[in-house]
Chains A and B, each alone.
Chain A
Amino acid sequence: MISAQDLSKHYGEFKAVDAISFDVPAGESFGLLGPNGAGKSTTMRMIGGVSQRTSGALTIMGLDPEEHGPEVRAHLGVVPQQDNLDEELRVRDNLLVYGRYFGLPMSYLKPKADELLEFAQLTDKASAKVDALSGGMKRRLTIARSLINEPKILLLDEPTTGLDPQARHILWDRLFRLKESGVTLILTTHYMDEAEQLCDRLVVVDKGRIMAEGSPAQLIREHSTREVLELRFGSERNTTVAGELHGIGDRLEPLPDRILIYAHDAEAALDEVVARGLRPITSLVRRSSLEDVFLRLTGRSLID
Chain B
Amino acid sequence: MTEPTPVQQRSDADGDDNDNSDNNDGVAAGTAVTPGRQGAVLPPRLSAHAPGVSAVRARKFGSWYYAEHVLRAMRSYRWTLLASSVGTPVMYLFAMGVGLATLVDQNSEGSFGGVSYLVFIAPALLASATIMTAATEFTYPVMDGFKWRRVYYGPHASPLGTHQIVNGHIIAITVRLSLTTIVYFLIIAAFGASPSALGFLAVPVAVLAGLAFGLPLLAYSARLEEDRGQFALVMRFVVTPLFLFSGTFFPLDTLPVFLRWIGWISPLWHGTELGRALTYGYALPPWLAVVHVVFLLALCLIGWRAARSVFARRLGR
Contact = CB atoms under 8 A, between A and B. Distances in A.
B69 interface: yes
A71 B52 contact: yes
A261 B55 CA distance: 54
A101 B160 contact: yes
Interface stretch (B43-51, B213-221, B299-307): B43-51
Given A85-B154, A89-B73, A101 B149 contact: no
Measured as residues with beta carbon below 8 angstroms from the partner, the interface class of chain B is 35 or more
A149 to B, nearest CB: 5
A148 B48 CA distance: 8
The main secondary structure of chain B at its interface with chain A is helix
Interface in B72-86: 72-74, 76-77
A102 B158 contact: yes
Given A52-B316, A150-B47, A97 B72 contact: yes
A180 B51 contact: no
Interface stretch (B5-13, B127-135, B201-209): B5-13
B65 interface: yes
Nearest to A78: B157
A70 B316 contact: no
A103 B54 contact: yes
B71 to A, nearest CB: 10
B159 A86 contact: no
B193 to A, nearest CB: 35
A117 B66 CA distance: 22
A34 interface: no
B250 interface: no
A-B CB proximity, top 5 nearest: A103-B57, A101-B158, A74-B51, A74-B54, A102-B54
24 contacts: A50-B157, A70-B59, A70-B160, A71-B52, A71-B159, A73-B159, A74-B51, A74-B55, A74-B58, A84-B149, A86-B151, A88-B74, A89-B72, A89-B76, A97-B69, A102-B54, A103-B56, A103-B58, A108-B47, A111-B46, A145-B154, A148-B48, A149-B51, A181-B13
